[in-house]
Amino acid sequence: MKIEFTKMHGCGNDYVYINSANVQIAQGEKPELVRKLSDRHFGIGGDGVIFIHPLGKKELRAIPGIHKDMRRQPDERQGGNAEETADFEMEMYNADGSRAEMCGNGIRCVAKYVYDKGLTEEKSIRIVSCGKVKYLDLTIEDGKAVSVKVNMGAPVLRAEEVPVLSEQEEAIAEKIEVEGKEYEMTCVSMGNPHAVVFLKEWEDLDGFAIEETGPYFENHRRFPKRTNTEFVKVIDRHTVQMRVWERGTGETLACGTGACATAVACVLNGLTEEEITVKLLGGELRVRWDRKENTVYMTGPAAVVFEGTAELDL
């Protein structure tokens, strides 16, 4: 099978992107395909694979998880109406072949892909992933999308909805024991589960043993669907540094939903203002939790690495 692909990244969080209009792959074959393409030695290499599906209104209504209450409300600025849902679907997989709900860096790259490839001329678009619609505004330079602002929606804090096993309604600064060491975590869902852990002033984030600790958090019994874990060092009221262990992938250079969860956790713990810069291994993201709207906004870059054709046996 020959598969046309585009390798893209947002702050170093890299995925292989495939336009479903160009190739038909059976659902049952996708996990194996994802594992092969994601392999950094024998494949293209990436944190996973994202399939892009252009949508028509009839197709939208056939997607499991799309319900009337998720449809976009009229928005004069965007020119939307209550019957619209999304323009494109993002079908995302982790490097291990498992399905993922959302990726903030990945969805920005999807927006850049569809604009740069001429699949849309709109600078404000809607993308659905696992039944949840996100709204994106593109910054264009010389006919190309260079930066994307994403309305990531409201953070989910109820423990049972994150999900995380907790005796509290919300797991904020809650203690957890991992391999004999006690940590404090704040759990947030941004469409996928996150456990945010703040390091102490004297702890060094650069030297933190994330490869040893991350897997134990990911597979801890308190996370029914496993979890992404952010290890965070607060620099000042407007800036934090973050490393992330992603569920199904391992440490990545960036995580958009993780940066959003971190911003929410910072505010909940009184550590920063509502808008912060999140410094990641692969770059920086700007995140704002508008508490009045209860909406998280994330802005960051999206870039193409290379394009090509992969020939695989499935």
Q: What would the pLDDT profile of 187-202 be if each residue is shown by its tens digit?
A: 999 999 999 999 999 9
Read off the amino acid at residue 195. Answer: A
Q: State residue 185's pLDDT score.
A: 98
Q: State residue 59's pLDDT score.
A: 52
Summarize pLDDT for 272-308 with one digit per residue, the tens.
999 999 999 999 999 999 999 999 999 999 999 999 9
Q: State residue 74's pLDDT score.
A: 33
Active-site residue identified among 103, 109, 260, 266: 103
- Is it the case that residue 75 has pLDDT exceeding 50? no
Please, what sign has the CA dihedral across residues 213, 192, 260, 89?
positive
Work out the end-to-end distance of the chain between its first and last CA atoms, rounded to an integer number of angstroms. Answer: 8
Does the annotation count 266 as an active-site position?
no
Both tokens assigned to 196: 């945010």
Summarize pLDDT for 80-89 with one digit per residue, the tens.
333 448 999 9
CA distance 202 to 311: 50
The 3-class SS string of 186-226 reads EEEECCCEEEEEECCCCCCCCCCCHHHHHHHHHCCCCCCCC
Q: State residue 80's pLDDT score.
A: 35
Locate the DSSP E strands across 81-192.
88-94, 99-100, 124-129, 132-141, 144-153, 174-178, 181-189
73 pLDDT band (50/70/90 cuts)?
A: very low
- Is it the case that residue 165 has pLDDT exceeding 70? yes
Share of the chain above pLDDT 90, in %: 87
Nearest 5°: the CA angle 159, 167, 220 is 65
67 pLDDT band (50/70/90 cuts)?
A: very low
Determine the 3-state secondary structure of 95 from DSSP. coil
Q: State residue 1's pLDDT score.
A: 84
Domains parsed from the chain with CATH numbers: 2-152+302-311 (3.10.310.10), 159-293 (3.10.310.10)
CA distance 279 to 272: 14
pTM: 0.88
Active-site residue identified among 11, 109, 187, 255: 255
Q: What is the mean pLDDT of the chain?
A: 91
Number of neighbouring beta carbons within 10 Å of residue 95: 24
- Is it the case that residue 8 has pLDDT exceeding 70? yes
Region 65-75: mean pLDDT is: 37
**Contact between residue 121 and residue 108 where contact means Cβ atoms under 8 Å apart:** no
Summarize pLDDT for 91-126 with one digit per residue, the tens.
999 999 999 999 999 999 999 999 999 999 999 999
Please, what sign has the CA dihedral across residues 301, 109, 107, 36?
negative
Q: State residue 142's pLDDT score.
A: 97
Half-sphere exposure of 57 (CA within 13 A, CB side): 7
Q: State residue 85's pLDDT score.
A: 82
Beta carbons within 8 Å of 66's beta carbon, 6+ residues apart: 60, 85, 128, 131
**Contact between residue 150 and residue 108 where contact means Cβ atoms under 8 Å apart:** yes
- Residue/partner pairs of 98-101 with CB below 8 Å, 24 or more apart: 98/31, 98/247, 98/248, 99/130, 100/48, 100/192, 100/247, 100/248, 101/129, 101/130, 101/132, 101/191, 101/192
Region 256-260: mean pLDDT is: 98
- Is it the case that residue 312 has pLDDT exceeding 90? no
CA distance 2 to 309: 6
Q: State residue 57's pLDDT score.
A: 56
